[in-house]
Structure 1
Amino acid sequence: TPRMTERFLTLARYAAGTGADGILFTCSAFGPCIEACARDLAPIPVLKPNEAMIEEAITKGKRIGLLVTFPGTIPSMIPEFPPGITVVPKLAEGALAALDAGDLATHDRLAAEAARDLADCDAIALGQFSLARAKPLVEQATGKPVLTTPDSAVVKLKRLLGA
């Protein structure tokens, strides 16, 4: 909505005004608002949460596993991948509830168990920032490259900033 976009612009302008070299938003539900911020603040890099990970994932192959803990992420993220890429979604059942309960070990274990169903993919993209902590177990369970939103975003921001 225009009101929500204005709230995002206010936040992004505040960040830029305090000296931020780049901005990374961490919720994929607000893509149009984030895009408005990127246009408004150019040339300051403003990234959507998944864009860098998706860019990196498609360099790994044409079949990408998408592991998530929240079902609503699947229909919103799949269209972010370019044509010609096969996205294989997988929900880590119960992992989000475990995380919400503070049971980090169970969260990570459930993520790794679910990821086994993605072992035939070229790479696995972890669809939420909160899943990043499970990366080592997912790699161990699948033997595949595992990409996280924070890792990919930091690499892209560093590249864009020449750092």
Structure 2
Amino acid sequence: MPPLTNADDMNRQPRIALIHATRVAIDPIETAAKALWPEAETISILEEGLSVDRQKTRELSGDMLRRIVDLTRYAEASEADGVLFTCSAFGAAIDRANAEACIPVMKPNEAMFDAAFGHGGRVAMIYTFPPAAAGMEEEFRDAAKERGSDAEITSYFCDGALEAKRAGDDARHNLLIAQTARTIEGADIILLAQFSMAGAADEVRKFTSVPVLTSPETALAEIRRRIETNQ
């Protein structure tokens, strides 16, 4: 965050740019922001082409990397104090954007991973968007190594849930994820990988006694910390 220089700046609300690759991720993080940091101003930037194009390739292309960096620059030009991406399939590109930005830029799941390490070494992750899994697993292993954790992650794909969400059938989306959670054995913690899955948490908890973490709440708390401490 730039230094405060006058009374108007000191009274200005902090502004968070939320960058989405799918519209189903918007409501969960905006709801979390209103509940956990109501003083902050949020602006949502939607670029659905990223999600469409990401499904067509196994690896992040140079074009997608440039688009992520350009979106971050746009957020900076919009006077954002921090940027939070809400799609889990662009980790390496978001790292590049963060390295080049003058404000904090966060991947959607890094805060959730940090929280998971405190629950034990057997981490289960449910995901609904196939391109997100490999990158998230790599991010998890990198984070575990950096923090000296021996935690291991096992991923579980929930087929049909994302399609139900996109069709507006939240009840089916939540039930399918809960049913997937019920099949998980021996886990210390269950992660719901994507922001769009956050609304399923209460239903999942009916099917399992294992603690459940979602991305929006942990991410919002961490981007607030980084903005307020200028990190």
Consecutive unaligned residues in structure 2, runs of 5 or more = 1-60
The alpha carbon displacement at 1:101 in A equals 2.2
- 1:90 & 1:2 partners in 2: Cα distance? 29
Identity among equivalent positions (%) equals: 41
Q: How many correspondences in the alignment?
A: 162
What residue is the counterpart of 2:67 in the other structure? 7
Map 1:27-38 to 2 at 5 A. Answer: 27-38=87-98
Normalised to the residue count of structure 1, the TM-score between the two structures is 0.88
What residue is the counterpart of 2:218 in the other structure? 152
- 1:8 & 1:89 partners in 2: Cα distance? 26
- 2:151 & 2:86 partners in 1: Cα distance? 23
The alpha carbon displacement at 1:67 in A equals 0.7
Map 1:68-107 to 2 at 5 A. Answer: 68-81=127-140, 82-83=144-145, 84-107=150-173
CA 1:76–1:3 in 2, change beyond 3 Å: closer, same or farther? closer
> Is contact 1:119–1:144 with CA below 8 Å preserved after alignment?
no
Q: Is 2:80 aligned against 1:20?
A: yes
Normalised to the residue count of structure 2, the TM-score between the two structures is 0.64
Match of 1:115 among 147, 167, 181: 181
Deviations for 1:100-150, whole angstroms, at most 9, x for unmatched residues?
A: 222110110111111012253111111111111101111221122211111
CA 1:73–1:14 in 2, change beyond 3 Å: closer, same or farther? closer
Consecutive unaligned residues in structure 1, runs of 5 or more = none
CA 1:7–1:79 in 2, change beyond 3 Å: closer, same or farther? closer
Structure 1's consecutive aligned runs of 4 or more residues displaced over 6 angstroms after TM superposition are: none
- Give RMSD over aligned pairs: 1.9
> Is contact 1:65–1:88 with CA below 8 Å preserved after alignment?
yes
- 1:38 & 1:122 partners in 2: Cα distance? 31
What residue is the counterpart of 1:49 in the other structure? 108
Larger Rg over CA atoms: 2
